[in-house]
Amino acid sequence: MPPASRSFAVSWVYLGIVAGGLLSPSGLAQEAAAPDLSPRGWLAEAAEIEKRAMSFSYEAGSVEGMSMMIVGTTGASAVRAGFEALKQGGSAVDAALTTALTQIALAGGGWVSYAGLFTMVVYEAESGKVHSLSAGFGIPRGEIDPATIPAQGSGTPSGRTALVPGFMAGVGAAHERFGKLPLASVFGPAIYYAEEGFELSPMTAGMIVSRKTYLHRLPATRKIFFGAGDAGGASSVEAVDREPHPAGYRFRQPELATTLKAVVEHGTDYMYKGAWAEHFVAAVNQEGGNFTRADLADYQAIWAEPVRTQYLGFDVAALGSPSMGGVNSVECLNLLEAAALEPYTQSAESLFWWMQITNAFVIGYLPPAMQDFLFPGVEVSPGRRASKEWAKTLWGKLKDGSFPMTRKPPAGNHSDAVVAIDSAGNVVALVHSINTTLWGESGIFVDGVSIPDAASYQQDQIAAAGPGDHLPDPTNPLIVLRDGKPVLASSSIGGGLHQQTMMCLDHVLRGMTPAEAIAQPTLLLPKFGALGLSTAQVPEGAFADEMIDQVRALGQPVTEANTSQQGATRGYWIGIHVDPKTGKLSGGFPAGLGGGAIGH
């Protein structure tokens, strides 16, 4: 997925174990119809979090607990808000939604957006069922010639690079089925930070400067990010020549707060059938878009059966249709089972084959003609790719060298991930994303909401899906079970999300904690040449020089990448493990993103 990895790295890492003295969730739920989850109830902690957010700490972290836990990739304040939802009697979904909504407010719409995409896998403790929810981008019905959509980097900002937002429909669908707290509570922390603001960290201020050209283009966007502003934080639209807000500036988003309050009042349909939808269509069409009100009004998030497989004696339930990430994950696990490799940290040959196996996900991005050429007479559908039979066939082709890595998949971009478990045993793994570069290149904001330009680099995928359909995405949240009970909630972001997920998943299911798995050396997203042949990438110093030389001798080109300069190639994984014997919870999160984990 897109560069969730940011070379200017993230502010700080917050983790903690909140022990003892908590009211029971049911008791808290009865005390107030709409509990306040905002920092008003934890101001001292909020001040400390914000202080640390300015200090640029990069450590990975872990946390333990016994009854509830939440982990997030960015926005330690957002993670704390999600934990407050758990404390106040909310479900795991309430907590994850609270965190996701707040992450976007704290990002200023930069790497995640209320007009982005949303995917989620949920374990429902009462029924023992796993549910998959996909709310990816939709394609407007009027987009009949996607090859002519202006490309990213072309210098041609366009409303045609926008897609139908899925995020808020996903929030609404998830909350309607699994939420316990009212929307007013779940949205409360995001509204708080939009209204009251937060100090811009050097990292976030640097992001704004790096995207100055695009954020300065339109008056509605310019007034959010430029100029000293008034006491309310809104700059003058006429302040054309002012500089971006600096680090330390109290960044407020009053228009966004108004929009979020309207969503609470009218429901999430407000962004599909209300005034916001009208304003969205007008804004993107003014910039050359092909939208109608019906494109938004008809949009639906999709509940589907998870894609499943067995791996190392565990039941893995991954994101279902129409997303591609679940199929990619299951296909990879089936290939690893067929290969029966030694640990890749101990064998150059195993590392070589991990490189080949984790590259196989490109199959989902090949045109039908190429699929037919590589697999004559064999159906290459998502359902078939998830089968054990297919894995045996593909493993044979990998071993005999008859399957080249033939095409580069779409480059993903910025995202956030959340995993959570509540005291009732419900589990959720969630991803949301703008699926493009920071803020995109169109610079369009609608009533305080950033509009991603995710169509600007996925023209081929849009053509394959067709007008009016959902655009498949590579997100891969998943839940692992043993004997019908969850043992792991997993989610990831970043360009190398597939590689990172597969490696961390394998480590945890072989006995490591999430934090230990994250600390292991990993593969990055490979580089794809003009003919589609891949060069593996690994972080500098991650593997011994002798092992890398042995892999090269086996015929696999490898480069060692400075991930501080090539952050888009890395994946960032978070997870919560549940010990099946003791019920002990163990959470882990990566360095460099400013997220955190809290457990009780």
Model pLDDT for residues 47-94, shown as the tens digit of each residue: 988 887 776 555 778 899 999 999 999 999 999 999 999 999 999 999
Closest CA to 350 of 512, 547, 514, 526: 547
List the single range of 49-63, 183-197, 428-442, 540-554 with lowest mean pLDDT. 49-63
Contact by Cβ (8 Å): 82, 416: no
* pLDDT confidence of residue 401: 77
> Would you place residue 363 in the very low, low, confident or very high pLDDT band (cuts 50, 70, 90)?
confident
Percent of the chain at pLDDT exceeding 90: 76
Q: Based on C-alpha coordinates, what's the Rg of the chain?
A: 23
Q: How far is the C-alpha of 591 from the C-alpha of 256, rounded, in Å?
A: 30
| pLDDT tens digits, 469-516 | 999 999 999 999 999 999 999 999 998 999 999 999 999 999 999 999
Residue 228 reports pLDDT greater than 80 = no
pLDDT of residue 563: 75
CB-count exposure of residue 377 (10 Å: 0-12, 13-18, 19+): exposed
As a three-state string, the secondary structure of 24-74 is CHHHHHHHCCCCCCCHHHCHHHHHHHHHHHCCCCCCCEEEEECCCEEEECC
More confident residue, 257 or 13: 257
Q: How far apart are CA 433 and CA 497, in angstroms?
A: 13
Tokens of 146: 């996607």
Q: What is the pLDDT of residue 235?
A: 43
Q: How far apart are CA 381 and CA 374, in angstroms?
A: 14
pLDDT (tens digit per residue) in 269-302: 999 999 999 999 999 999 999 999 999 999 999 9
Give the highest mean pLDDT range of 23-37, 132-146, 219-233, 365-379: 132-146
Q: What's the residue count for the chain?
A: 600
- Measure CA 292 to chain center: 28
Q: Give yes or no for a contact between 216 and 443, defined as CB atoms under 8 angstroms apart.
A: yes
pLDDT tens digits along 429-484? 999 999 999 999 999 999 999 999 999 999 999 999 999 999 999 999 999 999 99
Q: Span 324-333, mean pLDDT? A: 96
β-bridge partners, 493: 572
**CB proximity list for 490: less than 8 A, separation 6 or greater:** 419, 429, 477, 478, 479, 480, 501, 504, 505, 508, 573, 574, 575
Q: What is the value of pTM for the model shown?
A: 0.91
Residue 531 CB neighbours (<10 A): 9
Among the listed residues 178, 171, 48, the one whose alpha carbon sits nearest the alpha carbon of residue 112: 171
pLDDT at residue number 10: 29
Mean pLDDT to the nearest integer, 300-311: 97
φ/ψ of 588, rounded to 5, equals -145, 150
Mean pLDDT across the stretch 355-378?
Answer: 85
Determine contact, residues 457/409, Cβ cutoff 8 Å. Answer: no
- Cα angle 439, 443, 445 (rounded to 5 degrees) comes to 90
Least confident of 55-59, 143-147, 255-259: 55-59
Can you give the pLDDT at residue 291?
Answer: 97
Q: How much is the average pLDDT of 180-203?
A: 96
Model confidence at 227: pLDDT above 90: no
Token code pair at residue 255? 């228009």
Domain positions in the chain are 1-128+179-197+301-431+476-600
pLDDT exceeds cutoff 60 at 28: no
Q: Please measure the distance between the N-terminal and C-terminal CA atoms of the chain and give it in whole angstroms.
A: 31
- Looking at the predicted structure, is the pLDDT value of residue 185 above 80? yes
- 17 pLDDT exceeds 70? no
Strand order in the sheet with 314-318: 61-65, 585-589, 571-578, 485-494, 478-482, 314-318, 307-311
